[in-house]
Structure 1
């Protein structure tokens, strides 16, 4: 007996969807574990530090940062609280908007990011890229570009 009564997806389509979810979860869990063990840095924290490092002047408005890291505003606020306590980021008021805040990467945060990046990149290589042939990497890129084009949030 099937729990799905809607015939709008074939068994193969549903299987592919579940495989995509499991693959993403497997890679994410591996990266998270490696970063925590080696650098005491959660994957979401790494992502925030990376986004800030890539931004002009190592700063982003909190709303922009929330969209880039796919966290809710409240989730990002809690994460930034922790990163600020650890000295990895600072908050700065926005001169043009009294209600606006910037998250700013500190030198300590940049150093932690630099230490963690080889672990992060190594995990991506071992858990994802090394499992694909060069032609398959291009195929995945094309497929993911189609899926990413559906993103209506404005995130890059």
Structure 2
């Protein structure tokens, strides 16, 4: 169960500790992302394209509204739209009008896109395991997951995003 963080006003000491924790989290994330980007195991798709495919594969039916995809990926909305267009032109995703909202777009991964995603994912997971899993034990990984989920929920996101 993910519980929200307290919204009480922190003391000066708490504020200092909070900023130090944020700085540590941010620097760890940047360091790990740079290492993963440097080792990204594909010349066929970029890390950002992989992120889009990853999020689509996690959605029910491997289909996702473009609006929802924008909330989950690490790049800005205009960049996502252009990236999805590039993936569609390469046959890795399809775009269709949302039948429940004519203004919306549904993005779905194609079989070729899913096959490419899986090939890259296996190698990418090896790098993630080396950089994250080898640095933390099972208990620490579970705790890190819970803490990150709590932060995401506290800021207004979903725990399972």
Give the one of 119, 123, 136 matched to 2:127: 123
Partner in structure 2 of residue 79 of structure 1: 83
Q: Which runs of 5+ in 1 are unaligned?
A: 1-6
Question: SS at 1:128's partner residue?
Answer: helix
Cα distance in 2, alignment partners of residues 135 and 114 from structure 1 = 28
Of the structure 1 ranges 20-29 and 130-139, higher mean CA displacement relative to structure 2 is found in: 130-139
Runs of 4+ in 1 over 4 A off after TM superposition: none
Cα distance in 2, alignment partners of residues 54 and 139 from structure 1 = 23
User: How many residue pairs were aligned?
Assistant: 148
Cα drift, residue 27 of structure 1? 1.5
Give the one of 24, 33, 39 matched to 1:28: 33
Q: Which runs of 5+ in 2 are unaligned?
A: 1-11
Contact 1:91–1:102, Cα closer than 8 Å, also in 2: yes
Partner in structure 2 of residue 136 of structure 1: 140
CA RMSD of aligned residues (A): 2.2
TM-score of the superposition, structure 1-length normalised?
A: 0.81
